[in-house]
Amino acid sequence: MDLKKILDEHLLWLNGEGGSRANLRGADLFGANLSDANLSDANLFGANLRGANLSNADLRDADLRCADLRCADLFGANLRGANLSDANLCNADLFGANLRDANLRNADLRNADLRRADLCGASIDQMMWNIYTVFYPLQCPESGSYIGYKKASGLVVELEIPADARRASATSRKCRASKAKVLSITDINGNPAGGQVKSNYDPDFVYTIGETVEVSDFDDDRWNECSTGIHHFITRAEAVIYE
- For residue range 190-214, list pLDDT tens digits in order: 999 999 999 988 889 999 999 999 9
Residue among 129, 130, 127, 108 nearest 119 (CA): 129
Query: What is the structure's pLDDT at 135?
Result: 56
Residue 224's identity, in one-letter code, is: N
Which of 13, 15, 14, 52 has its CA nearest to residue 35?
52
Are 219 and 227 in contact by the 8 Å Cβ rule? The answer is yes
Give the percent of the chain with pLDDT over 90.
77
Q: What is the pLDDT of residues 106-155, one digit of tens each?
A: 898 888 988 888 888 888 765 455 545 555 788 899 999 999 999 999 99
The string over 84-110, giving b where at least 16 C-beta atoms fall within 10 Å of a residue's C-beta and e elsewhere, is bbbbbbbbbbbbbbbbbbbbbbebbbe
pLDDT at 133: 58
Q: What is the mean pLDDT of residues 93-101?
A: 94
Q: What is the pLDDT of residue 225?
A: 84
CATH 2.160.20.80-classified regions of the chain: 1-136
Task: Give the separation between CA 243 and CA 233, rounded to whole angstroms.
Answer: 13
Which helix H or strand E contains 129, and what residues bound it? helix 126-132
Note the pLDDT of residue 65. Answer: 96
Q: Residue range 88-109: average pLDDT?
A: 93
141 within 8 A of 166, measured Cβ to Cβ: no
CA–CA dist 63, 61 (Å, integer): 7
Average pLDDT, the chain: 92
Mean pLDDT of 219-227: 86
The mean pLDDT value for 152-161 works out to 96
Question: What tens digit of pLDDT does each residue of 62-90 get?
Answer: 999 999 999 999 999 999 999 999 999 99
- Interatomic CA distance for residues 125 and 81, integer angstroms: 16
| Cβ atoms 218, 229 nearer than 8 A | yes
| pLDDT at res. 128 | 56
**CATH 2.160.20.80 holds for 1-136:** yes
Q: What is the DSSP string of 73-90?
A: B-TT-B-TT-B-TT-B-T
Distant-in-sequence, close-in-space partners of 222: CB < 8 Å, separation ≥ 6: 138, 168, 169, 170
pLDDT of residue 178: 97
